[in-house]
Structure 1
Amino acid sequence: MLATCAVASLVPAQGAVLDFEAGPPALYADGSGFEQGEFRFRVEGDFGMLDTAAACADIVCPSGNDTQFYAGLNDSSLSVQRVDGGTFSLLGFDAAFVAPLEFSPGSNVGQIVVEALAADGRRVFGAWDAGKSGADGAFSFARHAGDRFAAFGNITSFDVFACVYGPGGGCFRPAQNLAQFALDNLQVAAAVPEPGSAALLVLGCAASMLIAGRRRRAPAPAAH
């Protein structure tokens, strides 16, 4: 039993990919949202949409993704958390800049930003360059994962938004409705227990074994 408890404390967190395929195409206003699996999404700001690149008319949707994705438009952000309010890890995502108009090829206009709330109350930030526009003036989806996501290992929620490069090299939001992003294939997992929590789990199992052993060794009541 003790070995079983030790193994349980070391089992990798079970992951999931949130791909925005579960719901129909839709527009979402400020404060509205949707759910997929164990996660809830809420739009903060002007509006966002679930659809494919083929649905884009007044904006230049990114290339490299023929499936349904989420687009945050007009300086808005997307807030993500578990339905039960529990902790989890963010391991990676696909993202791109959504251009309000066709840019010159090779334009580098902004970043994709993640701001998360850790379980201990800390704010955790990460920013990824949105890359350069292609020959058609559109941006392409890129995969972001790896060591930079270690800081997002025990969080209760996170917000995703875009910012736009401005004077002095800063990245700004709000940006006159120019900060727009596309998001897909969020890789998430249940939070991995802290080392102290894993040790407490093993100790708790050991205590249960000790109590069970004492019960087995206790003398049976005398027959009358």
Structure 2
Amino acid sequence: MHCKTWRLRAALAIAVATAWLPAAQAADTLTFDEPALANLYAGFEEIALGDYRAYFQSDGGLIGTADDLPASTAPLGNPTPFATALNSGVFSLFRADGAAFDLLGFDFVHVPHPDSPPPPYPMVLVILGGSEDAGGWLVDPTATNQSFTRYSDPAQMAPFRNVTSLNFTICSLDPETQEVCTFNLGSAGQFALDNITLQSPVPEPAVAWLWAAGLGALWLRRRQQTLSPSRAPLALPVA
């Protein structure tokens, strides 16, 4: 076998084989510690968080520490900045490049409004963007000065895999029908998030290099055939 043909076949075979390898996963934990992020944000004002983008819906939100909230309702146990959705707000999150990602975990706490009495029905934290049976987490609207709770159970995070956006919000829960978001919470649906862990597939540099090498060798071989039409046609390996 001709030496150049052998090298070409080897490069193409390796490139095809490695293309089917599972992509590596890169996990990012989004925090709000960057001093430049500290601000009061209007609704839908975009916030840059590395490879991700976020915004508050409705009445906007606040990135700051517990000292920026009323002492009677500010959460405890987290001295670093966090994101607070004001009133019955929504916190939305997506990748800047539009790629899909997985939710692995997050810190959450309900932040009662000092001038809003607890609603007469249960409240749940709801995340939209996953499967329809994603469910929610019960919220105690009477708890004040509570600490952030970490949610990272793989079974609970399973509905939020391969999503292109996420929306965090607090909704009402009808105790009879178990339907959510059927009642207006007014200002009672405030909440805060921190340490949002996300995972996205990333291309393997070695795979990309092998593909480029294989395709480059194929182009070179075809170029040689064009210059020397008397040679036998190229035979690609069959898996």
User: For the superposition of Structure 1 and Structure 2, which TM-score range results when normalised by the shorter chain?
Assistant: 0.7 to 0.9
Aligned counterparts of 1:102 and 1:138: Cα–Cα separation in 2: 15
User: Counterpart amino acid of 1:162?
Assistant: I
Distance 1:178 1:58, change over 3 A: farther
Aligned to 2:84: 71
Aligned to 2:29: 17
Deviations 1:173-211 (A, max 9, x none): 530111111000111111489xxxxxxx9xx96xx48x7
Q: CA deviation at 1:147?
A: 2.0
Aligned to 1:186: 196
**Residues 1:128 and 2:137 aligned together:** yes
Distance 1:123 1:167, change over 3 A: closer
> Structure 2: where are the runs of 5+ without partners?
1-10, 231-239
CA contact (8 A) 1:33 1:41 kept: yes
Aligned counterparts of 2:60 and 2:71: Cα–Cα separation in 1: 14
RMSD: 3.9
Mapping of residues 34-53 of structure 1, within 5 Å: 34-53=47-66
SS in 2 for 1:151: helix
Aligned to 2:145: 138
Aligned counterparts of 1:90 and 1:123: Cα–Cα separation in 2: 15
SS in 1 for 2:24: coil
User: Counterpart amino acid of 1:125?
Assistant: A
Aligned to 1:31: 44
How many pairs align? 203
> Structure 1: where are the runs of 5+ without partners?
194-200
Aligned counterparts of 1:31 and 1:7: Cα–Cα separation in 2: 39
Aligned counterparts of 2:202 and 2:125: Cα–Cα separation in 1: 26
> Larger Cα Rg: Structure 1 or Structure 2?
2
TM-score (normalised: structure 2)? 0.68
Aligned counterparts of 1:166 and 1:124: Cα–Cα separation in 2: 16
Same amino acid, percent of matched pairs: 27
Distance 1:72 1:170, change over 3 A: same
Q: Which moved more, 1:108-117 or 1:180-189?
A: 108-117
CA contact (8 A) 1:59 1:100 kept: no
Distance 1:162 1:9, change over 3 A: same
Aligned to 1:196: none
TM-score (normalised: structure 1)? 0.72
Mapping of residues 1-224 of structure 1, within 5 Å: 2=14, 6=18, 9-22=21-34, 23-57=36-70, 60-101=73-114, 110-116=123-129, 125-130=134-139, 137-145=144-152, 146-165=154-173, 168=176, 171-172=180-181, 174-191=184-201, 208=214, 215=221
